[in-house]
Amino acid sequence: MQENVVLQVNNLKKYFPVESGFLKRQVGEVRAVDDVSFAIAQGETVSLVGESGCGKTTTSRCVIRAIQPTGGEILYRTEAGKVVDLAKLSMNEIRPLRRGFQMVFQDPFSSLNPRMTIFDIVSEPLRVNNIGSRAEREDRVAELLKLVGLRGEYMQRFPHAFSGGQRQRIGIARALAASPRLIVADEPVSALDVSVQAQVLNLMMDLQDELGLTYLFVSHDLSVVNQISNRVIVMYVGRVAEIGPPQALFKDPKHPYTAALITSLPKPDPFNRSDRQIPEGEVANPANPPSGCYFHPRCPFAIDRCRQETPALEEIAPGRAVSCHRARELQLFEQVEG
């Protein structure tokens, strides 16, 4: 693992059993995450993007070991510089490491306990890790609230007194309390209004610059992902379709699924209402995926090989990797000179 890499995920797999009948016999499995690999360097934001059922949330939950992966490695560099495989450690061994990786959740309404004060919520990571005295924690919470743009006096209030955007700031303050290195943010702005969404994205970028944080960002929204990411991983039915820097990926996608996602996006431009080519059909069922490339039933470029062979993720340019048999020959979007 390279010196500056904080997290390296190798061949991660998470299969959920499908059980049936009184004896709960296993009759199948849902391959929620199937052979996903990526690495995140210190200070970088890597986003997982895709439609529902693509495995982006399951991947992020495996990374913080909220669930046990079925296979693969999750290599994490601790603050002391030691590399550990989170996939293999027991819960007891992981507990002391948890300070280093924290989570920000999607729904700011259900992710804050309504019966706890803001002080209790934000200081909880400190309390469970036995950090500081009560007075020190109070100072730290005031500092954290200021950091996320809220007033220190707010710490005696309860969550119901705050708007969605303010609550998400509180959620971020809680994640930052124990000074983590890695933040896993699962759709952190999806529940917010556009005018508030931009505030929270700006805040997350500012905090990253200030504190040198590393983000694993999960979202279904390509525009949000473009805003915040250094690198984007497009997932489809548990597998990686394409990896690359956001602008390269969105201007010149190499996987037909990435191209389909981009053309499906409504464009905020009423002067250019195009007759767009929208992919037909629906996202494949991960409990019963199609043969070969999972995207082939919806892919306008599918050939026989796509129906039979699963494409491997291949590097086609520095920083760009695609899992498509025809990635090298296809030009999906017209390229503008210069």
Partner 1 sequence: MTETRLRDAMPTAIGTPPDAVAPILQVQNLHTHFFTGEGIVHAVDGASFAVHPGKTLGIVGESGCGKSVAAKSILQIVDKPGRIVDGEILYTYTDKSGRYRHENILSLPSDSRQMKSIRGGEISMIFQEPMSSFSPIHSVGNQLTETIRLHTDMDQRTAREAAIEWLSRVGIPNPARRVEEYPYQMSGGQCQRAMIAMALSTNPRILIADEPTTALDVTTQAQILNLLQRLQAEQGMAMIFITHDLGVIAEVADEVAVMYLGRVVERAPVQEIFRNPQHPYTRALLTSIPSIEAQPRQRLPTISGSIPHPQNRPPGCPFHPRCPEYMAGTCEQKEPQLASVGTNHEVSCFLYPGC
Which H or E element spans position 264?
A: helix 256-264
Residue tagged 């970088």 (tokens):
44
**Residue 105 or 257: which CB sits closer to partner 1?**
257
**Residue 110 or 202: which CB sits closer to partner 1?**
202
Of 70-78, 150-158, 223-231, 311-319, the window that binds partner 1 (rule: CB under 8 A) is 223-231
**Residue 51 or 73: which CB sits closer to partner 1?**
51
The Cα–Cα gap between 113 and 201 comes to 23
Strand partners, 125: none
Which H or E element spans position 164?
A: helix 164-176
Is residue 217 close enough to count as binding partner 1 by CB under 8 A?
no
Is residue 198 close enough to count as binding partner 1 by CB under 8 A?
yes
Residue pair 137/126 in contact by the 8 Å Cβ criterion: yes
User: Restricting to residues 261-300, which ones interact with partner 1 according to CB under 8 A?
Assistant: 261-271, 273, 276, 278-280, 282-283
Sort strands 214-219 and 45-49 into parallel, antiparallel or unpaired: parallel
Is residue 335 close enough to count as binding partner 1 by CB under 8 A?
no
The Cα–Cα gap between 125 and 179 comes to 10
The Cα–Cα gap between 172 and 292 comes to 41
Q: How far is the CB of 291 from partner 1 (least distance, A)?
A: 20
| Interior angle at CA 128, CA 58 and CA 200, nearest 5 | 55
Q: In the set 37, 42, 129, 230, which binds partner 1 (CB under 8 A)?
A: 230
**Residue 107 or 120: which CB sits closer to partner 1?**
107
Chain residues in the site for partner 1 (CB under 8 A): 51-52, 163-166, 193-199, 201-202, 205, 220-224, 226-230, 245-247, 250, 260-271, 273, 276, 278-280, 282-283
